[in-house]
């Protein structure tokens, strides 16, 4: 009897200890769970918050991976009275608005209720952009009480296109003097562009070397040609991926097949785009040759370096020297 009582007491004690343990651990789990729930729903337990989120890193936006039609936008998460996972973000882009104020953004109609993020995000790739155009981008962030803040807008320009085209055929005497050679020859390019309004008109230069300083190789430095832009024919066919690719000794296709020109063109250049100074038709001013009957002395025939329309190797820019009386294509660049 006594043994049975002792055994029963031990069983009861064990059950009581197990019940206490279960209640304790259940209480801890519930406390943790309730803590998380309370944190995420803190904003519902008080009156509506009127404080807008604070953009991270002082609102700095970083624009990278810019292509002809896309760009990557990155930012630092905002802080707010509500938990970070409850904040929503939206990237907005405009070609006309600078997006410097929230009022401007709200009035523009650019915000789309369906485009707010549903998770923590710190970057986005924007697509369907036009090549060679300037854009303004900004990021809006809002909290559960619909308080909205904006980051600092960032301007960027998509990679554009440089076009190589023929302005017609000319002898080697395209300039009135060596001092005005670049201006005179560029004017020929300009006149050709006027007759081809589908090409960019803002920036242009004759694709020809004048002297050791004013040479094709130096165009990015002298004329602001974007060295990372691809070069196309005016028919929209790719010639080279960028400036270095254009002058590396080969091009993607023959100029005659890309719609640039159907015969040789005046280059005045070596294969790397530097000036072939002895073959520029006297700085593109004089194709005239003559001889003196009194002395029987013959003045050497002036020649100019040409580029080939039917080559993709270095000869495309550095081919035979040609008589300055010949008519060859004058090529131009515009962007």
Q: Percent helix, strand and coil across the chain, each rounded to 5?
A: 30, 25, 50
Kindly report, residue by residue over 54-102, the tens digit of the pLDDT: 999 999 999 999 999 999 999 999 999 999 999 999 999 999 999 999 9
Structure token digits, residue 225:
């040609």
The reported pLDDT for the residue numbered 113 is: 97
pLDDT-derived band at 19, boundaries 50, 70, 90? low
What would the DSSP string read from start to end of 252-319?
Answer: SS-HHHHTS-SS-EE--B-TTS-B-TTSBHHHHT-----B-TTT--BPPPPEEEEE-TT-SSGGGTS-
Tokens of 23: 């209640």
Find out whether 111 and 128 touch, Cβ atoms under 8 Å: no
For the cut 90, the answer to whether the pLDDT of residue 221 exceeds it is: yes
Is residue 286 over pLDDT 70? yes
Which candidate, 40, 37, 38, places its Cα nearest to that of 144?
Answer: 40
Six token digits for residue 236: 């929209």
Residue 42 has pLDDT above 70, yes or no: no
Going along the chain from its start, the domains and CATH numbers come out as 56-157 (2.60.40.10), 162-334 (3.10.100.10)
| 181 pLDDT higher than 60 | yes
Q: Would you call 219 helix, strand, or coil by DSSP?
A: helix
pLDDT at 13: 55
């Amino acid at each position: 009897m006594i043994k049975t009582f002792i055994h029963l007491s031990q069983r009861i004690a064990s059950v009581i200890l197990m019940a206490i343990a279960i209640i304790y651990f259940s209480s801890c789990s519930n406390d943790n769970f309730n803590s998380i729930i309370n944190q995420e729903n803190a904003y519902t337990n008080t009156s509506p918050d009127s404080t807008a989120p604070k953009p991270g890193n002082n609102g700095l936006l970083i624009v990278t991976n810019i292509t002809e039609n896309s760009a990557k936008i990155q930012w630092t998460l905002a802080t707010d009275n509500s938990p970070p996972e409850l904040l929503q973000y939206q990237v907005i882009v405009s070609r006309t608005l600078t997006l410097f104020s929230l009022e401007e953004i709200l009035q523009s109609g650019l915000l789309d209720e369906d485009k707010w993020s549903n998770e923590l995000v710190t970057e986005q790739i924007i697509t369907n952009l036009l090549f060679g155009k300037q854009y303004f981008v900004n990021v809006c962030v809002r909290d559960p009480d619909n308080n909205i803040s904006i980051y600092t807008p960032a301007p960027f320009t998509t990679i554009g296109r440089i076009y190589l085209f023929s302005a017609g055929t000319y002898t080697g005497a395209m300039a009135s003097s060596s001092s005005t050679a670049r201006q005179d020859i560029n004017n020929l390019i300009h006149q050709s562009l006027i007759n081809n309004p589908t090409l960019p008109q803002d920036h242009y230069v004759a694709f020809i070397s004048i002297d050791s300083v004013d040479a094709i190789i130096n165009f990015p430095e002298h004329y602001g040609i974007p060295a990372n832009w691809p070069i196309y024919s005016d028919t929209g066919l790719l010639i080279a991926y960028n400036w270095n690719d254009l002058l590396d000794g080969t091009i993607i296709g023959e100029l005659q097949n890309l719609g640039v020109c159907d015969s040789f063109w005046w280059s005045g250049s070596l294969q790397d785009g530097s000036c072939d100074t002895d073959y520029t038709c006297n700085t593109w001013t004089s194709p005239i040759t003559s001889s003196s009957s009194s002395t029987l002395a013959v003045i050497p025939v002036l020649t100019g370096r040409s580029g080939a329309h039917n080559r993709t190797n270095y000869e495309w820019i550095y081919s035979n020297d040609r008589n300055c009386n010949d008519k060859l294509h004058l090529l131009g660049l515009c962007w």
